Amino acid sequence: MRVFRGLCAAVVVAAGLVVPVQAASAAQRPAVGSEPVYDFAGAIRETAWVDVGRDGDGDGKPDRVAADIVRPAEPAAQGRKIPVIMDASPYYSSLGRGNESEFKTYDQQGRPVGFPLYYDNYFVPRGYAVVLVDLAGTNRSTGCVDVGGASDVQSAKKVVDWLNGRATGYSAKSGGSKVAASWSDGGVGMIGKSYDGTIANGVAATGVAGLKTIVPISAISSWYDYYRSDGASFGFDPDGLAETVETRNGGQDCSAQNAKLAKGATANGDYGPFWAERDYAAQAKNVHASVFVSHGVNDLNVKTINFGQWWDALGKAGVQRKIWLAQTGHVDPFDYRRAEWVDTLHQWFDHYLMGVDNGIETQPMATVERQPDQWADQSSYPAAGVKATTLRPHAGATAGVGTLSTAATSGTASFTDNLDGSENGWAATPSATSPNRVLYSTGSLSTPLQVSGTSSITVTATPSTSSARLSAMLVDYGPASIRNYSAGGEGIKTGTTETCWGSTAPGDDACYKVTSADTTNVGFTVISRGWADLANYRSLSKESPLTPGKPYTMTFRLATTDHVVPASHTLALVIGGTDADFITGPAKGPKLTIDLAKTSVQVPLVGTAPAGPGAALPRTALSSVANRPQLDLR
């Protein structure tokens, strides 16, 4: 069964039409949102190949990227220009887009027919053009992928330039005649999930004129933090991703470029020039576009530090921002809160691309999923009243198990890295000694504590060998029903019925399978985690040899989140060595002795943290979701 939403009228209706206004004053801006008054079936579908001014595949010719365009015919016939919604992706012919893995399709003449996702179906009838760009080296574009580097970013930036009359487009992949985007008003909004949203971040960080807004969904802000974590390696590298997305684009030899990727992404986890080129958070001061972020707080693929550091850097740059945070893993909000997402996105684009005075910029800054399908608005993110709070571990009667409070502490604790540990194994028996981790908890809370923002931990550890890894996590102990983010759907189930979002044309369906929350009951929830190589204690740019028996102090980040630990639950800190589900370990696992007086965790809290020890945690084994991360960057 299909349910239709927002169907386009079959003919053009003048009443209620919103004419794009880019520079109108507040008094002049229209207050009525864009309506579906344009004929989608009769929309213009075409391709422009934009010269990006690079020769990434070394064939002696400038690379051209394919920009597939669908736009309503009526505005151009009336001499009016329209804004653009753009999704630049490497996946249009390799992995597909969306929950149903849609691909681009073309007719026998090579003209675009099928546009993945609902953006064209919904927004073209409302007066927008939708442009889907193949990154260099993918689908119908020439060149090579460089996984977030200059080629990827320029692939999309040059299309923004072309839409503003600053770059050259052609009617063919090679040769052809010059084509201009005379129908474009120059205003561009970029959107996309994962790699696509990452490119939106990268283009915004160039400060390119004409980019009015971006909507990065589960996106990377620094490629270092996708492949590495404070010196530790997640065990996979960018050249593998490049080869995956280039597989269906014949004609280019990208072996030289891929070799550069392999060489640049050094295995030792040091942060160097390769990663700096791909660090958009460090370039956030250049961003002029507004930013609407969406991310799952349980995303173990594009880990949440990516939205956290991006969000903070954008705030320092004075960028207008909005954020949605779900309990899901790597999932698009269209697939966990469909109607509300489409409505909010519609208002966002209407405001920032058409100048509609709909008040979206004055609505609550943050919307957070507290329990499956239960949402709460916040006036700010991190939450209002948040305070950086230092919690310290205290030794208890049981070895390796103690309390966590704001009070000063002393003593030591030890564990051995067996190179095969995992967060669920470390957390499952919180009151028992483990040879492979230490655990400190607040005891039962009398009032709730909200963790909102990015935590960090400072550890002083003495290794028994010349190399060592550290893993740390914050755990909410207490029964809860959560989205099953480690299952195949990462917190959603896909049904068989469909709802339709916009207009359908031959070869371009607007209908998508309904999804629902996939939930599970747990005894504890890991709410934040982080990893580090102790050899990077001095600097992320260069590791230093460790001397066995000598103490080293290192501070590293834990994942960004927004989570309420309810009253009667317990907040705990767990410290271990190699978490084998996430990072690669050293050649030999060391014994690590923790100096408790010089170890602490800094947590952004709303509420009052315990100043003294609390009650012990239960002795029974507890369960959580499986924690092996999903590694499909779609």
Residues 6+ apart with CB under 8 A from 263: none
In a 3-state reduction of DSSP, which class is residue 531?
Answer: strand
What residues contact 383, with CB distance under 8 A and at least 6 apart?
A: 366, 450, 452, 562, 606
Judge whether 288 counts as a catalytic residue: no
Contact at 8 Å (CB) between 102 and 109? no
C-alpha span between 529 and 421 (Å, rounded): 14
DSSP 588: S
- Rounded CA gap, 538 and 541, in Å? 9
Among 63, 299, 335, 518, which one carries the catalytic annotation?
Answer: 299
Identify residue 202 by its one-letter amino acid code. Answer: G
Asked about 509 being catalytic, the answer comes back as: no
- How far apart, in whole angstroms, are the C-alpha atoms of residue 406 and residue 394? 10
Choice among 63, 221, 330, 508 that is catalytic: 330
Give the C-alpha separation, 576 to 386, whole Å: 28
Task: Pick the catalytic residue from 194, 422, 467, 600.
Answer: 194
DSSP character at residue 412: E
Helix (H) or strand (E) segment spanning residue 114: strand 112-114
The β-bridge partners of 133 are: 67, 88
The beta-strand segments (E) located in 38-90 are 44-51, 64-71, 82-89
Tokens matching residue 334: 């269209």
- Is 409 exposed, middle or buried, given 0-12, 13-18 or 19+ CB atoms closer than 10 A? buried
Distance CA 583, CA 230 (A): 11
Backbone φ and ψ of 443, nearest 5°: 80, 180
- Residues 295/299/302/304 CA torsion (nearest 10 deg): 60
Instruction: Return the H-helix or E-strand segment holding 3.
Output: strand 2-5
- Sequence-ordered alpha helix ranges (H) in 319-410: 338-354
241: Cα separation from own chain's centroid: 17
152 catalytic residue (yes or no): no
Burial grade of 494 (CB within 10 A; 0-12, 13-18, 19 or more): middle
For residue 23, CA distances in Å to 128, 130, 187, 350, 601 come to 17, 21, 11, 14, 48
Is 349 within 8 Å of 128 (Cβ atoms)? yes
Which backbone phi and psi does 115 adopt, to 5 degrees?
Answer: -105, 115
Q: Cα separation of 529 and 241, whole Å?
A: 25
Residue 350 near residue 18, CB atoms below 8 Å: yes
Structural contact between residues 452 and 606, judged by C-beta atoms closer than 8 angstroms: yes
Phi-psi region of 567 (alpha: psi -120 to 50; beta: other; left: phi over 0): beta
What's the residue count for the chain?
634
Residues designated catalytic:
194, 299, 330
